[in-house]
């Protein structure tokens, strides 16, 4: 499709149904598909292997990420797991240090049992990657912006290093969404999303998706998608496609409001540091401006300590205290014991996740109401 992003979000993979003309095609619930003769089918055999509604979702996201292939999964975590299953015993992976707690948990508590080893680093420069490179290194994994500290890594540079050393670069693009950046265009091999977040956008469906331009990687991953079977249901696939149609509108509002809130927080005396990619004070502001069309909807900030952070969070009314992010409603959470509770306290310190850290997922409500809610919570806390 040669259309602009907003048009593709609505139409890619979403053609009206051929038989009836239904603008919204029926959800294809069938688990199996009749064959005219053995092996003579219409492209679908069994719904784990391929399903028309899931296929529409896969085409839609692939189009938004400028990818040849898209593969749907039951959750972001099962997308992560399926990508890890592409590796072999003894392989080594270089990972950016700041990743979703569940991703770290899967690497550290599950994959290490199969003799895979992981090096975590906050420095993704070529010099440092060269230092970490081993003969058995097969993959580089990073989130950019990262969860929860919004670290921004240079996808172009890391991709060059990966290419030169025959490594697979995986970028978890959940925080940015395809509207803000397209890592495949910058040289990433695989891009994954927890579609539970911005893609779905309404906090009502758990899902994951992986896209790629590589025939070989797509084949390997499709084999694993079918063999391990962590696929989204037709209904979940349909809900995701429905949510994705408004992704551009939502990302604009999320980003606009998040920037205002980040600026507001920076002026607040109780806040020692604000993490937001498009704030001038961000460590990689220039890179973030070049790499990301907008700053995204997540803002993290440091309060003095755990007690103050917990009190502040319990005083918020409009921001619900809850895990997850990327929905139309604003959420707030405490990463050290919630989303990143599976990371040991010493490691959290090394990464820079302080005991006073709060993470906001800025929704699409009126930003003045959101700022008032934050101000009221501060007034009652400090």
Residue whose CB is nearest to ligand P1T in the complex, by number? 76
Question: Is 172 noted as a catalytic residue in this protein?
Answer: yes
Whether residue 148 is preceded by a cis peptide bond, meaning omega within 30 degrees of 0, is yes
Told to judge if 48 belongs to the known catalytic residues of this protein, a careful annotator would answer: yes
| Size of the chain, expressed as the number of residues it contains | 382
Tokens of 42: 């219409």
Nearer to ligand P1T, 51 or 75 (CB): 75
Binding status of residue 292 toward ligand P1T by CB under 6 A: no
Task: For residue 236, indicate whether it is catalytic.
Answer: no
**CB atoms < 10 A from the CB of 163, how many?**
12
Q: Identify the active-site residue in 138, 197, 253, 359.
A: 197
Number of residues that bind ligand P1T (CB under 6 A): 18
Q: Give 261-266 contacts, CB < 8 A, sequence gap 24+.
A: 261/299, 261/360, 261/362, 261/367, 261/370, 261/371, 261/374, 262/295, 262/299, 264/371, 264/374, 265/299, 265/301, 265/374
Among residues 69, 91, 98, 100, the one annotated as catalytic is 100
Catalytic hit among 97, 172, 189, 373: 172
Residue 248 · residue 5 · CB < 8 Å:
yes
Q: Which of residues 173-202 bind ligand P1T (CB under 6 A)?
A: 174, 194, 196
- CB of 191 vs ligand P1T, minimal distance in Å: 12
Instruction: Work out the number of other CB atoms within 10 angstroms of the CB of residue 127.
Output: 8
- CB atoms near residue 355 (< 10 Å): 18
Cβ burial of 252 (10 Å; 0-12, 13-18, 19+) is middle
The binder of ligand P1T chosen from 93, 325, 353, 357 (CB under 6 A): 325
Q: Is 163 a catalytic residue?
A: no
Closer of 128 and 324 to ligand P1T (Cβ): 324
Q: Figure out which of the listed residues 102, 145, 234, 277 binds ligand P1T, where binding follows CB under 6 A.
A: 102
Nearer to ligand P1T, 25 or 236 (CB): 236
Two tokens at 259?
């920037």
Is residue 323 involved in binding ligand P1T (CB under 6 A)? yes
The footprint of ligand P1T on residues 114-173 (CB under 6 A) is 143, 147, 172
Which stretch in 23-31, 217-225, 268-276, 320-328 sits in contact with ligand P1T by CB under 6 A? 320-328
Q: Show the site string, 62-101: x = touches ligand P1T by CB under 6 A, - = not.
A: -------------xxx----------------------x-
Residue 238 near residue 226 (C-beta atoms within 8 A): no
Out of 12, 149, 206, 230, the only residue in the binding site for ligand P1T (CB under 6 A) is 206
Q: Which of 59, 203, 255, 339 binds ligand P1T (CB under 6 A)?
A: 339
Q: How many CB atoms lie within 10 A of CB 336?
A: 23
Q: Spell 22-41 as b/e; 16+ CB within 10 A means b.
A: eeebebbeeeebeeeeeeee
Would you tell me which residues interact with ligand P1T (CB under 6 A)?
75-77, 100, 102-103, 143, 147, 172, 174, 194, 196, 206, 208, 323-325, 339
Catalytic residues: 48, 100, 172, 197
């Amino acid at each position: 499709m040669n259309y602009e992003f907003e048009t593709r979000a609505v139409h890619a993979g979403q053609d009206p149904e051929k038989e009836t003309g239904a603008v919204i095609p029926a959800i294809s619930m069938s688990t199996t598909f009749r064959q005219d003769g053995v092996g003579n089918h219409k492209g679908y055999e069994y719904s784990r292997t391929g399903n028309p509604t899931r296929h529409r979702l896969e085409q839609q996201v692939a189009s938004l990420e400028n990818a040849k292939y898209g593969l749907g999964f039951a959750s972001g975590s099962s997308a992560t797991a399926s990508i890890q299953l592409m590796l072999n015993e003894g392989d080594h992976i270089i990972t950016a240090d700041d990743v979703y707690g569940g991703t770290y948990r899967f690497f550290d508590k599950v994959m290490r049992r199969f003799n895979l080893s992981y090096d975590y680093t906050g420095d993704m420069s070529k010099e440092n990657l060269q230092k970490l490179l081993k003969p058995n290194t097969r993959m580089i994994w990073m989130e950019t912006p990262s969860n929860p500290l919004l670290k921004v890594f240079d996808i172009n540079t890391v991709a060059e290093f990966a290419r030169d050393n025959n490594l697979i670069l995986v970028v978890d693009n959940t925080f940015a969404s395809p509207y803000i950046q397209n890592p495949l265009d910058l040289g990433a091999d695989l891009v994954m999303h927890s579609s539970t977040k911005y893609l779905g956008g309404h906090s009502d469906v758990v899902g994951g998706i992986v896209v790629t331009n590589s025939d070989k990687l797509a084949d390997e991953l499709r084999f694993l998608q079918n063999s391990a079977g962590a696929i989204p249901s037709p209904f979940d696939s349909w809900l995701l496609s429905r949510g994705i149609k408004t992704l551009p509108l939502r990302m604009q509002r999320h980003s606009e409001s998040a920037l205002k809130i980040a600026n507001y927080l920076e002026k607040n005396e109780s806040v020692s540091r604000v993490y937001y990619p498009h704030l001038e004070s961000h460590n990689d502001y220039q890179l973030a401006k070049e790499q990301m069309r907008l700053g995204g909807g997540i803002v993290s900030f440091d309060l003095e300590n755990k007690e103050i952070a917990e009190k502040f969070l319990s005083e918020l009314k409009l921001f619900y205290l809850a895990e997850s992010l990327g929905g139309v409603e604003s959420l707030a959470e405490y990463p050290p014991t919630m989303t990143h509770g599976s990371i040991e306290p010493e490691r959290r310190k090394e990464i820079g996740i302080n005991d006073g850290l709060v993470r906001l997922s800025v929704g699409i409500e009126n930003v003045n109401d959101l700022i008032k809610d934050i101000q009221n919570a501060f007034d009652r806390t400090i």
